[in-house]
Amino acid sequence: MGSFFNKFKFFGMVMLGISAVIIYLFYNALQPQKTLPVYSPAMVNSDLVDQEIQHIRKYHTIADFSLINQNGDTITQDDYRDKIYIADFFFTTCPTICPIMTKNMASIQDKVGDDVMLLSHSVTPQIDSVAQLKKYALEKGVDDSKWNLVTGDKKQIYELARKSYLAVKTDGDGGPYDMIHTENFILVDKKKRIRGFYDGTSEEEVQKLLEDLKILKCSYEE
């Protein structure tokens, strides 16, 4: 008799375990999948959006570009085709927020796989030559295979900042005395759409970026 009850008890425990697993799977299946917004100019603070495009509510993507990286190579949108990437704007002689941003970007570099790239635009391209960018890259531990520090035509870079990445205030025109400064990290998906903005000087915001990056990567696995 004792043996019978022991078997029944064991059977009951097994069934209870199976039931718990089934309930857990059903619960997860019924939970809405987390998704990231697709940002358009109309969704962003108007101070950060060029007046010409503030009305755009959808289909906003990063414009084509052609810039030079720390190795003297021409970098275009084709180098980021079908890639998730994180963009920012900096300059190598910046004494304030840029060193913190670069440190945090380097931390991101070490935590992401080869399917994620980084793109840092110099906002003082007249100072940040290829040689200067290379020196900076070596000092900061930049992995050339997935992180490009780029220089080039100032007006092109500033137009990218204002009209593509929606990252900085609209004053100035990229002229010789124009200067932009932003702490924003911008998350861009495989279709060149903006999926998030983060304070690159904040460890909490960088952690949120990494969490959002996981959500974005999972959306391509469904």
13-70 per-position pLDDT tens digit: 656 656 555 654 444 444 456 899 999 999 988 777 777 888 888 899 999 999 999 9
**Closest-CA residue to 148 (of 50, 61, 73, 36):** 73
Tell me what percent of the residues of the chain surpass a pLDDT of 90. Answer: 67
Q: Does domain 41-219 bear CATH number 3.90.470.20?
A: no
For residues 91 and 123, is the Cβ–Cβ distance under 8 A? Answer: yes
pLDDT recorded at residue 54: 83
β partners of residue 197: 186
pLDDT recorded at residue 27: 44
Q: How far apart are CA 40 and CA 114, in angstroms?
A: 27
Q: Which residue has the higher pLDDT, 10 or 40?
A: 40
Q: Which residue has the higher pLDDT, 77 or 11?
A: 77
pTM of the predicted protein model = 0.82
Q: How far apart are CA 208 and CA 202, in angstroms?
A: 10
Query: How distant, in Å, are the alpha carbons of 92, 115, 174, 210, 217 from that of 207?
Result: 24, 18, 32, 5, 15
**pLDDT per position as a tens digit, 131-143:** 999 999 999 999 9
Q: Where are the beta strands (DSSP E) in the chain?
A: 66-68, 74-76, 84-90, 116-122, 147-150, 184-188, 194-199
Any idea which of 8-17, 70-79, 156-165 has the lowest mean pLDDT?
A: 8-17
**pLDDT per position as a tens digit, 168-194:** 865 555 555 466 889 999 999 999 999
